[in-house]
A and B are shown apart, each in its own frame.
Chain A
Amino acid sequence: MTWVGDNSAMIWDQLREHLYLALVPMVLGLLISIPLGYVATRYSWLANPLVALGGVLYSLPSIALFIVLPAIIGTQVLSSANIIIALTIYAVSLLIRNVIDGLRSVPEDVLQAAVSVGYGTLRRVVTIDLPIAVPVIFAGLRVVTVANISMVSVGAIIGIGGLGELFTLGFQQDFLTPIVVGVVLSLALALLADVLLVGLQRLLTPWARVNSPVKAA
């Protein structure tokens, strides 16, 4: 355990990098998939192809995507942009389905009521559709966030992987401690992120607690 004390600055840096590499794609994924999902509910012929494309993209192994991206979009091979873009692609692939399902779960009479009292499209989507879709979108967001946090470490193979660098370090030095520290911190980060998302969802959907206190997403 003295190793942890001696290297706390390094571990702290990697933890911060890890968080950055996992959370930026999560936010980007949300920012991209919400408008995309809205368009797909508006023009419903788009929905199935988009979900199918998401399924194919999600099946791509992360290490493969990290390496293929520079060849396609011209980033540096060892750039953290590859990790962020790859994880954003995974996030959108998964979230698009939840956003579409969530927006479709808005009852027709609610939509009509909103239109008839004079809501414009943007105001209706932001204040009516999205809040109702929150539980379904958050179910996807939790999966994306936890998966991203564990996937970041694969980037360590190409030199950018936050806590994953503790795994490569431990492997190269035949030394168990950094690996255990990395696994534990990564799991803790995923758990913490998940708990925070559940809390945020509760804040965003106060009516869910009133109607069905036991119903979890």
Chain B
Amino acid sequence: MLQGFLDFISDSANWSGAEGIGNRILQHLAYTFLSLGIATVIALPVGLLIGHTRRGAFLAINTANAARALPTLGLLTLIVLLIGIGRLPVIIALVVLGIPPILASTYAGVSGVDRPTIDAARGMGMTEGEILTKVEIPIALPLIISGLRSATLQIVSTATVAAYVALGGLGRYVIDGLSLRDFPQMLTGAVLVAVLAILLDLAFAGIGRYAVSAGLTGRLRRGTDTKTTTAPATAEASL
């Protein structure tokens, strides 16, 4: 069984062409980043707005909880039956699943900024826009990035399942292998998608480390104790 997998993955014929491993990986990444991009464009501004105004928290928290309970395969099959087979319905499903984690953690990050910090910024004469971009977003960044990370993993995983409703990408090996009772092929798809998920997870962990303002991680701390939101930054970095 394992031998079959090694044969499959080491056979160069399986790596080239439209149905080759290289192309399947690129497809998977393309679906993932397209859906992630659309989900971010929708969820990030809404999360920032809710977090900044602290109105509509109910919406932000509950969409995330409800989305966790939503069976992905059910959503995929439902949307495909309603709209039809093709790439668009699947991308819609992936976007729907990507929105809640981004929305919830953006909201949590921005609304978690200490009140006195914001008051100080306002007292210095910052406009609301400046408070958002110069104070709230930098402080919330660790949580925003962790939201993007959860969304990415959710999308990578669901894009694999979406091969069942005729999407390309690495899930094809799983679904095609299953219908042919070709276990090595299934295993190839499963291992590749697992590796892809881990690599993307590590990439986000790396981004999280570098994107966080040095004033928050304590890298530049001088003497005085700043009791700001160091906790989320370190908590995310340790994952």
Contacts and interface: CB of A to CB of B under 8 A. Distances in A.
Given A63-B174, A164-B71, A77 B183 contact: yes
B198 interface: yes
A64 B194 contact: yes
A149 B70 CA distance: 9
Residue in B81, B187, B191, B193 whose Cβ sees the most chain A Cβ within 10 Å: B81
B13 to A, nearest CB: 22
Contacts, number: 140
B198 A56 contact: yes
A55 interface: yes
A106 interface: no
Given A56-B198, A56-B201, A68 B191 contact: yes
Given A150-B69, A153-B74, A179-B74, A71 B81 contact: no
Interface residues of A, number: 50
B44 to A, nearest CB: 22
B69 A68 contact: no
A59 B201 contact: yes
A158 B189 CA distance: 14
B178 A158 contact: yes
Nearest to A190: B69
Nearest to B159: A61
Looking at chain A's contact residues, the main secondary structure is helix
A131 B77 CA distance: 43
A132 interface: no
Contact of A157 (B82, B175, B194, B198): B175
Given A167-B77, A176-B78, A68 B190 contact: yes
Interface stretch (B16-24, B47-55, B98-106, B160-168): B160-168
Given A51-B239, A65-B194, A68-B187, A146 B68 contact: yes
A71 B187 contact: yes
Nearest to A150: B71
A151 B70 CA distance: 9
Interface string A143-160: 100110111111011100
Contacts of B72: 150, 153-154
Interface string A51-79: 11001100111111111101100000100
Nearest to A193: B69
Interface stretch (A38-46, A114-122, A181-189): A181-189
Given A60-B197, A71-B187, A171 B80 contact: yes
B153 interface: yes
B189 to A, nearest CB: 8
Interface string A131-149: 0000000000001001101
8 contacts: A56-B198, A61-B161, A64-B160, A64-B194, A68-B187, A150-B72, A152-B71, A167-B74
Given A51-B239, A167-B73, A170-B81, 13 more contacts: A61-B160, A61-B197, A64-B197, A67-B174, A67-B187, A68-B187, A77-B186, A150-B72, A167-B71, A180-B78, A186-B70, A186-B71, A191-B69
